Structure 1
Amino acid sequence: MRSYSRITGTGSYLPPLRLTNADLVAQLAHSGIETSDEWIVERTGIRARHFAAPDVACSDLALEAARKAIEAAGCQPQDIDLIIVATSTPDMVFPSTACILQNKLGANGCPAFDVQAVCSGFVYALTVADAMIQAGTARRALVVGAEVFSRILDFKDRTTCVLFGDGAGAVVLEASETPGILASDLHADGRHVGILCVPGGVSGGQVLGDPLLKMDGQAVFKLAVGVLEKAARAALEKAHLTDADIDWLIPHQANIRIMQSTARKLGLSMDKVVVTVDQHGNTSAASIPLALDHAVRTGQVQKDQTLLLEGVGGGFTWGAVLLKL
C-alpha cells in the first residue's frame, strides 16, 4: 500500500523580547537613522517583531517549537526518525543545526540535516520530508523552520532592518494511509542571487565580504508576485484542484502587499489568508510554520481543510505545498 504523509502536530516559539515599531524607531534614532511607525506599516504591514537574546542560538528556538509540535502529535522525541531544519542563520558553520537540535531533543540516531533555501526553506524541507516518507525511508519526521535574522541585519539600513524578526515553527509529519501533502512545486533561479543576499563568508578566521543582509526591495517584490502565483497554480494542477478548493492561504510572511497581491491573483479574499506578519515581521524560513501553528492553535484552521503554503526567498527560490491538515 502506498504511504502518504500528513501533519499530525504543529508548534512554534517566539523569543520573549518583542519590539514594536515605536521601540525600533527609538533605537534607530540613537544611531541617527530616521524612520517611523507609519512608514513601516504602510510599506510592509509590520507592527512588531521578536529578537532573540545574544546568548540564544537558532537551535534553542527550534527546540522550543519542536517540543510543542511533538507534544501536539502525541509522540516522544525518540519516536522521530527524521529531522530537517530549514534555516539561513545556523548555530555554526557545521555541524548542522538539525544535529544540534537532535542532541538537545534526545532523538539521536536518525538522519538529521539542514535545508538552506532562505525564506522558501520550510516549503523545501516539507517537500523533502514528504518524499522520504513516501519512499519508505522515514515514518515520522520533524520539520522545523528557525531563524535568528536579527544577527545579520544592518541597523544603518532602514529599508531592511525594520523587516525581519526571529522565531521558530515546527511540524511533525507522519506516514499515513490517506493523503495529507497533496502536491508541491519548487523552483530556483540563481540569476537573481544579488537582489537578496548576505554577501560574506569566512576564511582563515576572518570575515570576507559583507556579513549583513542586502536587498533590492523593488526587484524582490516584482519577482515574488509573479512566481508565487505560478507555483500556487502548478501545485493546484498537480493535485487536480482549483483556486476554489483552497480553504486557507498561508504565505511566507514577508510583506502584506505581496500577500494581498497573491491572494488577489488567486481570487481569494484576505479573509482566507493567514496573516501574522504584523506581529512577527519576516522570520524567513520560520514564517510559514509560525503562521500555521498560530492558525491551528487559535482555531482559525480546522482539520481536513485544504491549505496552500507558499514561500519566496533569496537564491532566488520559491515554491508551494498544497495539503490537507
Structure 2
Amino acid sequence: MISGLGTCLPKTEIGNSSLPNDLQTSDEWIRTRTGIESRRRVTPDISVIDLACEAAGNALRSAGTDSVDSLVFATTTPERPCPAAAPEIAHRVGQSGIPAFDVSAVCSGFLYALASAGALITAGIVNSALVVAAETYSRIVDPTDRSTAVLFGDGAGAVVLRAGSSDEPGALLAYDLGSDGAGAELIRVPGIREQPTGDRWFAMAGRTVYLQAIEQMANSTRRVLKDCGWSPRTLDLLVPHQANARIVEALARRLELPPEQVVCGLSRIGNTAAASIPLALAGALSRSELRPGARTALTAFGGGLSWASTALVWPQLTAITSEV
C-alpha cells in the first residue's frame, strides 16, 4: 500500500515564449495543441539521479520512515547504460544493502515499477519499497524538433509502499500490464550502433502514438476497474500519464468521465514521461482534486509499446515536494 509521496522538479522553468525561434512555433500554437505553458529543465550540473534522490528522500519523509527494504527505479534517461542507477540512489538516501534495480518501460515505467515492488511485498520477499521515477528528457529531445521539443520536461516522483491488507486505504487492489512489440519503432531513441549516423535524438510517430495511447489506456483502465469490481461511473478520479492535454481529454471522453474526474496537471511541467503520474498525484493533492477515500485509478502508455494501470482507495497522506 502507498504510505508516502514525494516529488522534485528542476528550478529552471522554460515558458513557451522562451523556446528557440527556429522551432517556428508560438505560445498559442503550443497551448492549443498540447495544453502546455512551460516545462522544467535541469541545468548541466543536475543529473537524473540527483532528481531521483531528492524525490525519494521526500517520499520517505512523507511516509514518516527512514528505511525501506527495497528500491525500484524507473527511467528512460539513465546517466549511463551500466551500472543500474537504483543501487546508487539507495545508497545516497541511506538505504545501502537493500535490493535495488532499474525498470525500463518508458512512460509506463512508474506503474511497471509499482507492480514489481508490490509483487515483492506480496510474495513476502520484502516488507516495504521505494518506487522512484525520474526523467531528464531535455537531454534526449532534439531541440529543433517542434513535435517533441515543446512537449517534454524534467522531473521526478516517488512513493513508499509497505505491506498491508487489501481493505486499507492505499492498498493497490489490481494491476493491468501489457505490451506490443510490433510498435517498437513508434517511440524510440537510436541505439549505440545507430548513433554514428548522427541520429541520436528521441523520436515519436505522433499521430499513431496519439491513437494508440487513448485506446490502450482506456482498455487497460476498464480491465483494472473490472478486477476491482468498479466501473467508470463509480470511479472518483482517474490519474493518467500526462502526455498532453488532448490525449487526457480524449481519454476522458472514451471512458465517459467528466473532465473534473480526470487529472490534467501538465500545463506548467509538460510531459515528464515515467515521472508524470507521481507528479500528477502531488499536483492533484495540492489543488484538492484528490482526497482521502477517493476511488482512484492510475493509467499510463509508453514506448515498447507498453501500457499499465492500477487502482486504489487514496490514503491520508501529505506529499512533500521540492526543487533543485
Question: What interval of TM-score do these two structures reach, taking the shorter chain for normalisation?
Answer: over 0.9
Partner SS state of residue 142, structure 1: strand
The TM-score, its normalising length taken from structure 2, stands at 0.93
Q: Which residue of 1 aligns with 2:35?
A: 45
1:92: how far off?
1.3
1:67 counterpart = 2:67: no
* Separation in 1, partners of 2:135, 2:26: 25
1:208: how far off?
6.4
The TM-score, its normalising length taken from structure 1, stands at 0.92
Cα contact 1:164–1:281 (8 A) shared by 2: yes
Q: Which residue of 1 aligns with 2:300?
A: 311
Amino acid of the structure 2 residue aligned with 1:285: A
1:201: how far off?
1.7
Cα contact 2:179–2:307 (8 A) shared by 1: yes
Cα contact 2:71–2:130 (8 A) shared by 1: yes
Within 5 A, what are the aligned runs for 1:36-185?
A: 36-76=26-66, 79-179=67-167, 180-185=171-176
**Equivalent pairs, count:** 311
Q: Which residue of 2 aligns with 1:3?
A: none
Judged with a 3 Å threshold, the aligned counterparts in structure 2 of structure 1 residues 208 and 74 are, in CA distance, closer, same or farther, namely farther
1:116: how far off?
0.3
* Separation in 1, partners of 2:61, 2:286: 13
1:298: how far off?
4.0
* Separation in 2, partners of 1:46, 1:238: 34
Which structure 2 segments of 5+ residues have no match? 315-324
Partner SS state of residue 135, structure 2: strand
Q: Which residue of 1 aligns with 2:243?
A: 254
Amino acid of the structure 1 residue aligned with 2:233: A
* Separation in 1, partners of 2:193, 2:269: 30
Partner SS state of residue 136, structure 1: coil
* Separation in 1, partners of 2:279, 2:23: 30
Amino acid of the structure 1 residue aligned with 2:292: K
* Separation in 1, partners of 2:313, 2:124: 20
Which structure 1 segments of 5+ residues have no match? 1-5
1:239 to 204, 228, 237: 228
CA deviation vs aligned residue, 1:13-67 (integer Å, no higher than 9, x gap):
100000111111xxx11xx331111111111111110001112111100111111
Partner SS state of residue 52, structure 1: coil
* Separation in 2, partners of 1:281, 1:51: 10
CA deviation vs aligned residue, 1:63-111 (integer Å, no higher than 9, x gap):
11111111010100xx211100110111211111111111111101111
* Separation in 2, partners of 1:245, 1:251: 17
Cα contact 1:127–1:184 (8 A) shared by 2: yes
Within 5 A, what are the aligned runs for 1:296-307?
A: 296-307=285-296
1:202: how far off?
6.1
Within 5 A, what are the aligned runs for 1:200-279?
A: 200-201=191-192, 210-279=199-268
Cα contact 1:200–1:208 (8 A) shared by 2: no
CA deviation vs aligned residue, 1:263-308 (integer Å, no higher than 9, x gap):
1121211111122111110100000011112223443312221111
Partner SS state of residue 177, structure 1: coil
Amino acid of the structure 1 residue aligned with 2:136: V
* Separation in 1, partners of 2:266, 2:230: 28
